[in-house]
Amino acid sequence: MLSKVFSAAVLGIDAYVVTVETHLEGQLPYIAIVGLPDGAVKESKERITAAIKNSGLYFPQKRVTINLAPADVKKEGSAFDLPMAIGILAAAGKVNPARLREFILIGELSLDGSLQAARGALPITISAQKNAKKGIILPPQNAREAAIVNDVDVYGPRTLQETVGFLNGDVQLQPIRVDIKALFSQRLQHHIDFSDVKGQEHVKRAMEVAAAGGHNIVMIGPPGSGKTMLAKRFSTILPDMTLEEALETTKIYSVAGLLPKDSALIATRQFRAPHHTISDAGLIGGGKIPRPGEVSLAHHGVLFLDELPEFKKHVLEVMRQPLEDGSVTISRAMLSLTYPANFLLVAAMNPCPCGYSTDPSNDCSCNPPTIQRYLSRISGPLFDRIDIHIEVPSVKYKELSSKEVGENSLQIRQRIVAARQVQQARYQNLPHMYCNAHIGSKEIRQFCRFDEFGEALLRTAINKLGLSARAYDRILKVARTIADLAHSPKIEREHISEAIQYRSLDRNFGITL
């Protein structure tokens, strides 16, 4: 007596089909699970036994051997409970085997037979689509998430008994449907807005440039100057997500088990703000069983690092690869996983330990060596990967008490979208490039041309500030973005001048990068 049930497992943010083979033979009752199961999978035999019996279904008093194929890939998690239980019942002749070929099954079982949520429903449903399966059967908590995928019928039975009845044709279930357009309509709903910020017009301009070109930005200023307030509103001026971006982001949250309850799709750009005590595994991803880190959870969104020098230096250094490549690779003895990590970095920091070295209204208690040691906690190569450095001074009382309302996020976003459209048209023939921050040295020479006046200005700035070759490239990329915002096909002298102003740390603190 042999049965085959199709399930799936997640590897990175993608899924692969797992065949659950169940064999019964007339020996002493026992359940053996093979195919590199982890502890959670091995424990499932206790849950399966109780769930089948408490559901009033027949449990065979025989030796049960379950193989999870491919057998050379480690299986982890509780999502194999449902397919293994169905496999046992099918091998005992209690489930129609013809229907099993049409579906992929996942789900954790409670002892009473009810289905509990599983991780990775979206990538598993995409895998079902690629493998030409008719549908997927999974817990109702994951049904709306899975229903985003077209051409796959999604069923969300509540119990093991209901699942058996559906497979045998005794219970009728309707496929779950979701309105993707309605889900996407939520993406413009932000509870915060740039018009909430008083003053700081030059900082808002710098953030507009950063958003338009996909540039990383660091804000330097005393405590209470509004750095965090500005950073939290940065995602509200970014262009709306495309369906492809939303699906990729949702896959990451699904795999991590962080998809909000009753949420089928991550339709807004995420804002992640980890505390400075975070570990390198928490930031980049990893662990005994690799999981996405904060850089991947901020994919297509914003990663905000407040009090940047307070982060452990080795934690910041491991962020250099994802900043450069847009992905992070986690290698273990048994496997190597790659998670996407294409995010915009927004950082904030004080100019010195006490925070007041650049504030004319407060006395600074730090001497120059102390300030230099504080700033040197962040390496030059990391600073080089941040295109825009902008000072954020304290807000004056006149600006705080002003009744004038500044531009809202929608108005700023419209200009940013127009600039992004220009960039997308410019780089349409270049793979994996859609904004100025992504272009390489070769493309800089092709697309960032300027006249002799701009060249003279740039030469003077580079010689005076002692900037690195990477910083030179960053200035040209930012200047290209400023020109795009001005609807100028050519980089003018004023565009280069403004871009140089966004290297504040080089100019004011004398850091050689």
| CATH code that applies to domain 2-167 | 3.30.230.10
Across 229-290, the runs of DSSP E, i.e. the strands, are 271-272, 285-286
Predicted TM-score of the model (pTM): 0.89
Q: What's the CA gap between 216 and 326, in Å, rounded?
A: 13
Q: What's the CA gap between 237 and 239, in Å, rounded?
A: 7
The mean per-residue pLDDT over the stretch 106-118 comes to 95
Whether pLDDT at 383 is above 70? yes
Distance between the two ends of the chain, CA-based, in angstroms?
69
Torsion of CA 439, 444, 449, 453, to 10 degrees: 110
Whether pLDDT at 167 is above 70? yes
Q: What's the CA gap between 157 and 138, in Å, rounded?
A: 7
Rounded to the nearest 10 degrees, what angle do helices 81-91 and 160-167 cross at? 50
The mean per-residue pLDDT over the stretch 22-36 comes to 90
Percent of the chain with pLDDT strictly greater than 90: 56
Burial class (CB in 10 A: 0-12, 13-18, 19+), 379: middle
Banded model confidence at residue 458, pLDDT cuts 50, 70, 90: confident
The DSSP code for 37 is B
Query: Positive or negative CA dihedral for 238, 244, 246, 252?
Result: negative
Contact 63, 97 (CB under 8 A): no
Whether pLDDT at 121 is above 90? yes
Whole-number pLDDT of residue 181: 77
Query: Positive or negative CA dihedral for 434, 438, 441, 447?
Result: positive
Per residue in 233-288, pLDDT (tens digit) is 999 999 988 888 988 999 999 999 898 877 788 888 999 999 999 998 899 988 77
**Can you say how many angstroms the Cα of residue 64 is from the centroid of all Cα atoms in its chain?**
41
Whether pLDDT at 397 is above 70? no
How many residues are given for the chain?
A: 513
Locate all alpha helices (DSSP H) within 101-232, ordered by sequence.
Answer: 121-130, 143-146, 160-167, 180-184, 201-213, 227-232
Contact 105, 138 (CB under 8 A): yes
- The structural domains of the chain, with segments of one domain joined by +, span 2-167, 186-509
Least confident of 30-39, 68-77, 426-435: 426-435
CA distances from 303 to 210, 322, 344, 427 (A): 13, 12, 6, 25
For the chain, give percent helix, strand, coil, nearest 5.
Answer: 45, 15, 40
Percent of the chain with pLDDT strictly greater than 70: 96
Q: What's the CA gap between 426 and 445, in Å, rounded?
A: 14
Whole-number pLDDT of residue 508: 47
Judged by DSSP in three states, 379 sits in coil
Whether pLDDT at 394 is above 90? no
Return the CATH fold of 186-509.
Rossmann fold (3.40.50)
Banded model confidence at residue 188, pLDDT cuts 50, 70, 90: low
Query: Based on C-alpha coordinates, what's the Rg of the chain?
Result: 28
Q: Give the mean pLDDT of the chain.
A: 89
